[in-house]
Structure 1
Amino acid sequence: MEISLDKHSANQASVKIKLNEADYQPKVDAKLKDYAKKANIKGFRPGKAPVSMVKKMYGTSVLVDEINEILSSSLNNYLKEQTFKILGDPLPMIEDADSIDWKTQTEFEFQYKIGFVEEIEFKLDDSLKATSYKVEMNDAEVEEAITNLRSQYGKMTNPEVSEENDFLYGDLKSEDGTFEKTFSLPLSKVEKKSLKKFVGVKKGDVVELDPSKAIKEDLAQTVGVEEEEVEKLSGKFTFTVQNINRTELADFNQEFFDKLFGPGQVDSEEAMRAKVQEIISDNYNKEAAVYSDEQIKDKLIESANIELPEAFLKEWLIRANEGKVTEEQVEKEYPIYAKQLTWTLISGKIAKDNEIKAEHEDVIEKTKEMIREQFASSGMGAQMEESMGMFVDNYLQGNEGQNYMQMLTSVQNDKVLAFVKEKANVKEEKISADKFKELLEN
């Protein structure tokens, strides 16, 4: 057997494997003899058929199986000995395989494409600068959140006359009759100058409008049409009111508090406001932590400057997901995949160099945290803790063990990022919710 490597570029190569009879024939002969001992062939007693007949019947398939097994183990062992990091899986040259004559050939040559990266280098010290954001809530933002919750748990009514923030259910028609749609119009989405037309109306009233000017945002979604139909919503239209819907805000009472946080968790308006502020702040700061982590990843990815074998990886993604993805989908999603792969390579090196490992106990604790968050507002705190072991086992054993592996990867990622932050120059900055939203949008 001969194995050789031919590098085509800094990150792509081909591996050639040559086999002769001595490499595979002894295994083929042994397998055929074993077949002959077990074969049940018409005209012969079980196990008494001549090997020559068994070879004629099964020889080619046994040959193919044995050679494939030799190729697989030989290629894997050879690649393990290399200093570079293999990406994806080796891709067999299909045109070479199609030209093989399994009945007459005694020597075989196979080629595989491989993609790899050499040494991964980056700086991990205080030259890596990052910002950790702490989001601070103001009273107006908390009040807005509380109003939204009161609306969500409020009572629906159908008043005679409309007011601001009502929903008008009715028929939208174009003057020329080419468009007609029945939908619910939130007056909160009506432009200020046009709003007065919709306030004070009753059932059966008709309002004249130009939807493209009167509805200030999400025109297609508000009316309920596809984006390509938006151009039809310009010009003279009428809206005939069929019904007026209004949500009366929920009262600050125990029933409302229990719906929000579970029975007996909060017993006063003051405590409810404090709880809402705490939850919103926690949510923002979790999001801010994710944002900061992504910024750190981006800077490490940039400093490492890893050149991935793009052409190879795109081909591998298509062949590995045969029939599930198109070339267009791979082209579109490749940048996201490449970024994640690069971070995985960097994270793996940091973990290996610094002996960072995700332990089973860490996986259990992280799973518990996830479950507690999911049940946070259910009011089942005590009962949930009593059955926590069952919840954890059910989750980690689900999805054929993939849930466990995903959680293990998540824990490893958390540990690596914590290590990076210890080495990097991370400064904390207090920021308003509005300012943080601007950061996310940019």
Structure 2
Amino acid sequence: MSVNVETVSTLERRVKISVPFTQINAEVDVRLKKVARTAKVQGFRPGKAPLNIVAQQYGLQVREDVLNETVGSAFTDVVREQELKVAGYPRFEPVEGEPSAESFEFSATFEVYPEIKLGDLAEKAVEKPVAEVSEEAVDKTIDVLRKQRVNYETTDAAAEDGDRVVVDFLGKIDDVAFAGGSANDFAFQLGQGQMLPEFENAARGLKAGESKVFDLSFPEDYHGKDVAGKTAQFEITVKSVAKAVLPEVDAEFAKTLGVADGDVEKMKGEIRENVTREVTRRLKTKVKENVLQALLDVTPIDLPTSLVSMEVNRLVEQTKKDFQSRGMDVNKMPFPPEIFTKEAERRVALGLILSDLVDAESLRATPEQVRSVIDDFAASYEQPEDVVRWYYADPSRLEGPESLATEDNVVAWVLSRAKVEEKALSFDELMGQNNA
């Protein structure tokens, strides 16, 4: 077998391979003899047909199989001998020109992995957010938990923000009712943006039994295309108004949060632990994002198009499954690959950089580090030991914690070399809340 390796571009290579027909013919003969032992040929008992008759019936298929396997094994041998790091899948083609009478000639075009040269991190600024878990943060979390357990009490007072209002309404455009423009016993909470501003403004200040007629202009980009950009006249009648009543922070409230004895201070301690754990997780996530971006910024890299294409396809399929899980019909939705390309390129680049960095700097997680991650996961469950046993019951389950622990090592390695700039974040900023 003769081989010729050609550099097509920075990452693309083409290998021309020639395999003697004598080698291929010999393998075809061997396989035909095996086939002949059991071949069923009309006019002959199974396995008794002459070899030339068997060749007439099975020869083409056997030869095709041999050629396909020859192409694959020959390419594998070349990759091993030439120490080529193939990215993606090769494209096999017959060699152009007059076919050789002595050998089977084909070419394989493929990409190789790029050489990674990590840039200098010494002058790279990496932002490291920091945040404290104050008593105010714990109190805000308790308020959120109270709102999740809110009760409503009917009132004769006028409706205001925060109230749950039940209404009947009828909308018309040019005195004609339209689809979706009417409802009875429709409930919503004022001030939460569930309805268009004009609708909420009309309900605000009304008492049970009161009605109001008002105009409502639908936005040009309204999801209902039949009414988008049009003005409708609505009549609204308030059926009931209910005030939100938050539960008191007492023993009963503590019991609803799983504190069996109703100890309020114990409840607050557990909430503080959970908030601290969540704050730590979010801070780690933000630092990791900044570290990964820093690695991308200082490490220019040529990306194999085959790997990017594979990642695009994976993201498309992942998005389709996500939409399907939400009950959407993906067969009626376009998924243009180009909208996934940028994210695919980022993921491929990070994968290549991290793989090289982890190997070069021996940053792969130790068993002790993996156990630490698992213990952290388990701490939020009532029976942590059961969670730990579940992970170690199947080695494949350790892949996730091992990956996270390895990422922690990468983050620590980068932060030890880059210019770290701490940035204080408020609890609301970190948790993505507003002050309303």
One fold, TM greater than 0.5? Answer: yes
2:362 maps to what in 1?
Answer: 355
By percentage of residues, which structure has more helix?
1
Q: Which amino acid aligns with 1:391?
A: W
How do residues 378-397 of structure 1 correspond to structure 2 at under 5 angstroms? 380-381=382-383, 384-385=384-385, 387-388=386-387, 390-393=389-392, 396=394
**The one of 270, 276, 291 aligned to 2:271:** 276
2:409 maps to what in 1?
Answer: 415
In structure 2, relative to structure 1, the CA distance for the partners of 1:252 and 1:8 (3 Å cut) is: same
Q: Which amino acid aligns with 1:122?
A: L
Residue 129 (structure 1) aligned with residue 125 (structure 2): yes
CA–CA distance in structure 1, aligned partners of residues 156 and 16 of structure 2: 82
> Bigger CA drift: 193-202 or 299-308?
193-202
CA contact (8 A) 2:120 2:298 kept: no
CA–CA distance in structure 1, aligned partners of residues 205 and 315 of structure 2: 59
Residue 189 (structure 1) aligned with residue 192 (structure 2): yes
Residue 345 (structure 1) aligned with residue 339 (structure 2): no
Q: Which runs of 5+ in 1 are unaligned?
A: 214-218
**The one of 171, 174, 189 aligned to 1:174:** 171
How do residues 15-414 of structure 1 correspond to structure 2 at under 5 angstroms? 15-41=15-41, 43-82=43-82, 85-93=85-93, 107-123=103-119, 125-137=121-133, 141-161=137-157, 162-176=159-173, 177-178=177-178, 180-182=181-183, 183-189=186-192, 198-209=203-214, 226=223, 228=225, 231=228, 234=231, 236-264=233-261, 267-268=263-264, 270-310=265-305, 312-313=306-307, 329-358=336-365, 363=370, 366-373=373-380, 375=381, 380-381=382-383, 384-385=384-385, 387-388=386-387, 390-393=389-392, 396=394, 403-414=397-408
* Secondary structure class of the residue paired with 2:127: strand
Alpha-carbon deviation of 1:207? 3.4
* Secondary structure class of the residue paired with 2:37: helix
Q: Which amino acid aligns with 1:145?
A: T
1:216 maps to what in 2?
Answer: none
**How much is the aligned-residue C-alpha RMSD, in angstroms?**
4.2
CA–CA distance in structure 1, aligned partners of residues 300 and 347 of structure 2: 14
2:327 maps to what in 1?
Answer: none
How many pairs does the alignment contain? Answer: 410
1:3 maps to what in 2?
Answer: 3
In structure 2, relative to structure 1, the CA distance for the partners of 1:71 and 1:248 (3 Å cut) is: same
CA contact (8 A) 2:7 2:13 kept: yes
Alpha-carbon deviation of 1:306? 0.5
CA–CA distance in structure 1, aligned partners of residues 363 and 120 of structure 2: 15
CA–CA distance in structure 1, aligned partners of residues 296 and 133 of structure 2: 32
In structure 2, relative to structure 1, the CA distance for the partners of 1:238 and 1:153 (3 Å cut) is: same
Q: Which runs of 5+ in 2 are unaligned?
A: 321-332
CA contact (8 A) 2:312 2:340 kept: no
Alpha-carbon deviation of 1:305? 0.8
* Secondary structure class of the residue paired with 2:241: strand
In structure 2, relative to structure 1, the CA distance for the partners of 1:369 and 1:227 (3 Å cut) is: farther
Alpha-carbon deviation of 1:165? 0.3
CA contact (8 A) 2:312 2:344 kept: no
Alpha-carbon deviation of 1:121? 0.5
| Percent identity for Structure 1 against Structure 2 | 21
**TM-score, normalised relative to structure 1:** 0.76
CA–CA distance in structure 2, aligned partners of residues 196 and 134 of structure 1: 41
Deviations 1:386-440 (A, max 9, x none): x34552256x47xxx5x5545544443333333333333334333213444789x
* Secondary structure class of the residue paired with 1:189: coil
CA–CA distance in structure 2, aligned partners of residues 150 and 230 of structure 1: 39
Alpha-carbon deviation of 1:196? 7.1
